[in-house]
Amino acid sequence: MAAVKIVNFVKRFGEVTAVNNLNLEIYEGEIFGLLGPNGSGKSTTLLTIATVYKPTSGDIYVFEHSVSREGDTVRKFVGIAFQEPKAMWVDTPYELLLWHAMIVGYTSHEAKNVVKETMERLNLWEHRKKQFYQLSGGTRKKLEIAKVMIQRPRLAIFDEPTAQVDVITKHALWDVVREMRDNGSTVIVATNDMFEAEKICERIAIMYRGELRTLGSVKELKDQVPGGDVVEVSFEGDREEAKDALLKLDGIGRYMLGNDKIVAYLNKGEERAAEIVSALMSAGIKVKRIMVQEPTLDDVFFYFTGARLGEG
């Protein structure tokens, strides 16, 4: 069963089309990444999965229940940490989380324990008695995340969870996300950060201007960038012969030839390294060293969106 099935989903706000005919499946038990530059429709999609918005057309099914027609059922499955936590309460962080814990079904005794445990884990305990306006942006973010950790929903959604938090907290959050998945939750993370996506997500969808650009593991996305791998071979022997041997191979795009080095761009470089070495050896060239470099994450992002990260 798909945890989330998005079918021909369109969301318009007046004249603005935020999401344009999105089709996507998120499997149960995976950590799924939603990537895209600012304004590409990530939050709109997540908020619709969480039933905050209704689709303009198309539908989204959460564990086979329609967000349009069965909102109450869907809400039981979903927990979401919003991108921008709002001050909707007058309570302290501690009171807020305690209240939240009781709402999602803990007894008062259990609630106290789980709230303390969660706040300590995210270094929130020292802030428990403050007012919302006294909290830093990162601390507000952690409070959002704490809500989802306490809830342990079947589908956990984090909208740019680490955008404002420090490095130590980032690592703690990545651990939390993996742990939730190990305990049976399906997790969706929206992020602008390819590194974060590579670190925790099993599959990634890249959105751009409300549309899906590509879908797959980071490895698969890298392999889709044409001529994306860089293979660097250091050799001893005749450079012209080395070049001729190399160019006989399929799929060599651009290349650069030095006195004792060739750099070539091609796909799936790591799988083809052996082939390159043996072609050169057959031509009487001694290979001293071969290095394969994948495209960088920025290359991948740029290829699929034509935009550097953070651009509108």
| Contact positions vs ligand ATP (CB under 6 A) | 13, 16, 18, 36, 38-44, 83, 192
Distances from the Cα of 128 to the Cα of 36, 95, 156, angstroms: 34, 8, 24
Nearer to Mg ion, 43 or 139 (CB): 43
Give the nearest distance from C-beta 248 to ligand ATP in angstroms: 46
Give the nearest distance from C-beta 37 to Mg ion in angstroms: 10
Two tokens at 285?
A: 């060239």
- Please report where in the chains the tokens 């001893």 appear, as a residue: 236
Q: How many CB atoms lie within 10 A of CB 22?
A: 23
Segment near Mg ion (CB under 5 A); pick from 14-22, 42-50, 113-121, 283-291: 42-50
Question: Using CB distances below 5 to 8 A depending on partner kind, what does residue 55 bind out of Mg ion, ligand ATP, none?
Answer: none
Give the nearest distance from C-beta 300 to ligand ATP in angstroms: 17
Question: Using CB distances below 5 to 8 A depending on partner kind, what does residue 151 bind out of Mg ion, ligand ATP, none?
Answer: none
Q: Give the number of C-alpha atoms closer than 13 A to the C-alpha of residue 111, restricted to the C-beta side.
A: 16
Give the nearest distance from C-beta 17 to ligand ATP in angstroms: 8
Length of the chain: 312
- How many residues form the binding site for Mg ion (CB under 5 A)? 3
Nearer to ligand ATP, 151 or 192 (CB): 192
Q: How many CB atoms lie within 10 A of CB 126?
A: 10
- Is the sign of the CA dihedral 38, 39, 40, 46 positive or negative? positive
Nearer to Mg ion, 44 or 185 (CB): 44
189: Cβ contacts below 8 Å, ≥ 6 apart:
31, 32, 33, 34, 158, 161, 177, 196, 197, 200, 201
- In the complex, the residues that contact Mg ion under the rule CB under 5 A are 42-43, 83
